[in-house]
Amino acid sequence: MTIKNKKRLLFIDMLRGLAVLNMVIFHLFYDLVYIYGYEFDWFMSRASQIWQQSIAWTFILVAGFSFNLTRKYFKHAFTLVLFSTILTLVTYYLMPEEVIWFGILHFLATTFIITWLTQNFLQKINPWIGIFLALALFYITRNIYSGYLNFFNYNIMIPEAIYTNKYLFWLGFPLDSFSSSDYFPLLPWFFLYIVGFFIGKLFRLGKISVPKFPKKNNILTFLGQNSLIIYLLHQPIIIGLMTFIKIYK
């Protein structure tokens, strides 16, 4: 998630760091509810869903934007693929009930590679048109893993046969029995990533600017610059601390 550059955009780091902070807090409550059995009615509310979605949207949009800031494509792709694979193996063997088959890290790895391979085509698209088309496609496909496409007030059902292939879960066509404690399939989220990509292209072309604050690093920029390692370690640390407290309470 973090891209090293000689000159960093601290505002982008801050946005990513804000998402990291909210992710850690959200997962703390998630663990309390689903692993340790605490009851928080508000956590099941619409507000909690919006909170979770805002975290995901920020990560994905910032990742798409940041694609324009790196040239170390292979290193970035390899890092994401490596750690997403490790994440699946660790959760499969140590926490099979919470296994992650295709979470946000797997999504970012796949999307980065696709964008890398198609960037010559994407660069030819007017960024304003690209943003509009990507947002439209994101809206249309936003319920694809529930079995239908959205066209304003009309829902178009997708043939059920597509959802019988157990190998298409990563694309957005999971089996009814599919389970992943973190799930971000390529559809619809790829299109949101592409929105971020085109916003980043506008910035690179000098069509838009990024706020020039903060002027120096702070706790949020630190979190943003170390988002990958924090993402990988925060759950084991939270669960370890909660288990320790439960044992010695």
Q: Residue 4: its pLDDT value, please? A: 41
What is the rounded average pLDDT of the residues 2-27?
Answer: 84
Retrieve residue 188's tokens.
């619809």
Q: Is the pLDDT of residue 5 over 80?
A: no
Residue 206: left (phi > 0), alpha (psi -120 to 50), or beta? left
Residues 6+ apart with CB under 8 A from 62: 12, 15, 16, 19, 196
- Report pLDDT digits (tens) over 120-165: 999 999 999 999 999 999 999 999 988 999 888 889 999 999 999 9
DSSP 178-202: ---SSB--HHHHHHHHHHHHHHHHH
Question: What single-letter DSSP state applies at residue 206?
Answer: T
pLDDT at 1: 42
- Most confident region among 93-107, 125-139, 142-156, 199-213 by mean pLDDT: 125-139
- Token pair belonging to 6: 């000689």
Residue 83 contacts residue 232 (beta carbons within 8 Å): yes
- The answer on pLDDT for 106 being more than 90 is yes
pLDDT at 243: 83
Q: What is the DSSP letter of 164?
A: G
Question: In the predicted model, is pLDDT for residue 48 greater than 90?
Answer: yes
Determine contact, residues 104/182, Cβ cutoff 8 Å. Answer: yes
- What percent of the chain lies above the pLDDT cut of 70? 97
SS (H, E, C) 43-85: HHCHHHHHHHHHHHHHHHHHHHHHHHHCCCHHHHHHHHHHHHH
pLDDT digits (tens, 9 = 90+) for 226-236: 999 999 999 88
pLDDT surpassing 60 at residue 39 = yes
DSSP 155: E
Predicted local confidence at residue 6, as pLDDT: 47
Query: Would you call 156 helix, strand, or coil by DSSP?
Result: strand
Check whether 247 has a pLDDT greater than 80. no
The predicted structure's pLDDT at residue 37: 83
How far apart (Å, rounded) are the C-alpha atoms in residues 134 and 188? 10
